[in-house]
Amino acid sequence: MSLLVIGSIAFDKIETPYASRDEAIGGAAVYFSYAAAHFAPIRLIGVIGEDFPGEQIQKLQDLGVDTSGVETAAGETFRWAGRYEADWNTRHTLETRLGVFEHWDPKVPADLRDARYVFLANAAPAVQAKALDQCTNADFVMVDTMNLWIDIAKEDLLALLKRVDGIVLNDEEARMLTGETNLIQAARGVLKLGPKYVVLKKGEHGAFLIGEGVHFSMPAYPVEKVVDPTGAGDCFAGGFMGYVAQAQNTDPTTLKRAMLYGTVTASFCVEGFSVEELERRDRGMVEARFNELLSITSL
C-alpha cells in the first residue's frame, strides 16, 4: 500500500475577498500528503530551502509521512501568491518564485523506490518524469499539472502522459490541453494522449472520472463557508490516491469510492486557510462526511 508523492513544498500568499494570509504552508505535495495520510503511509519527495520551518516537517512526520526524501537546498523555498474572485472559481496567480524548486533534480532514496502507488503532484513535467524514472516498482501512477506547464513545457508533459495511468486536471487545464470546450470531449481528448483514466475537476461543481470501463460523476460536498480554495485539487488527489493505495485495487468500484473520498478531503481543505482545517480532521471525520455525502447523492 506504499504511496509516494513528489511535488512542490511551498509558502503561499493568499488573498480572498474576505481575508489574506502570507507565508502560509502550502505546496501541492504538502496538501496531498495531509489528505492521503488518512488512508496510507506516505513517502514525500520534495525540496525546501533553509527558511522552511522544521516544525512543519515534524507535523508531517506525526501524520505518518516519511520525509526522508525531502531535500534541503541552499536558497529560498518555492513561493506562490494567488488572489481569488468572489465566485471562488476565478483565481489569479500573482507571483511564482521558484527558488530552490527551479534547479531541483529529484532523488528518490533507494529504500523508497519500491512504492506501488505514485502521485506526480504539480511540478515541471521533466522533474516529474525524472522522479518516475526512479520508481521502479510503480504499478499505478497518476499525474497532476497546471496551466503554467501546459504553456511552457507542453512537449515534456505530452511525453509524460504516455507513461502514466491517470491524470487529474481542472476544467481550464483540460480545455487548454485539448482545445475542446465541452468537458466530456476534452476528457476524451486527454485519454487519447495516453492515460487510461482522467479525473476532471470542476471546482465547486464537483468532478468526474472517465476511462477504462468507468464513467462517474460527483458533485462537490456542499460547503457552507469557503475560506480558501487553495490546495483543494491536491487534497482531492490525496483522498483519491490514498484510498486506492489503501484498497490496493484499481477496479471501477474502488475508483468510484476514491472519487467520494477525494471529494471529502477537498471539502475539508477549503474550510480553512492553508492546512489548518486538514490538521483538525481525523479518520472518523472523514468517514462521517463520506457517509453524509453518500446519503445526499443517492436515493
Residues near ligand AMP (CB under 6 A) are 8, 10, 12, 26-28, 80, 96, 122-123, 146, 148, 230-234
Nearest distance from C-beta of residue 171 to ligand AMP, angstroms? 12
Nearest distance from C-beta of residue 120 to ligand AMP, angstroms? 11
Indicate the residue among 28 and 255 with the shorter CB distance to ligand AMP.
28
> What is the rounded distance in angstroms from the CA atom of residue 57 to the CA atom of residue 71?
11
Nearest distance from C-beta of residue 78 to ligand AMP, angstroms? 7
Nearest distance from C-beta of residue 12 to ligand AMP, angstroms? 5
Indicate the residue among 125 and 247 with the shorter CB distance to ligand AMP.
125
Indicate the residue among 238 and 247 with the shorter CB distance to ligand AMP.
238
Which amino acid type is present at position 66?
D
Nearest distance from C-beta of residue 213 to ligand AMP, angstroms? 27
Nearest distance from C-beta of residue 236 to ligand AMP, angstroms? 8
Indicate the residue among 148 and 294 with the shorter CB distance to ligand AMP.
148
Indicate the residue among 69 and 247 with the shorter CB distance to ligand AMP.
69
Indicate the residue among 84 and 247 with the shorter CB distance to ligand AMP.
84
Nearest distance from C-beta of residue 149 to ligand AMP, angstroms? 7
Indicate the residue among 78 and 117 with the shorter CB distance to ligand AMP.
78
Long-range contacts of 261-264 (CB under 8 A, 24+ apart): 261/39, 261/286, 261/290, 262/35, 262/199, 262/207, 262/235, 262/236, 262/237, 262/238, 263/206, 263/207, 263/218, 263/219, 263/220, 263/221, 263/236, 263/239, 263/293, 264/221, 264/239, 264/289, 264/290, 264/293
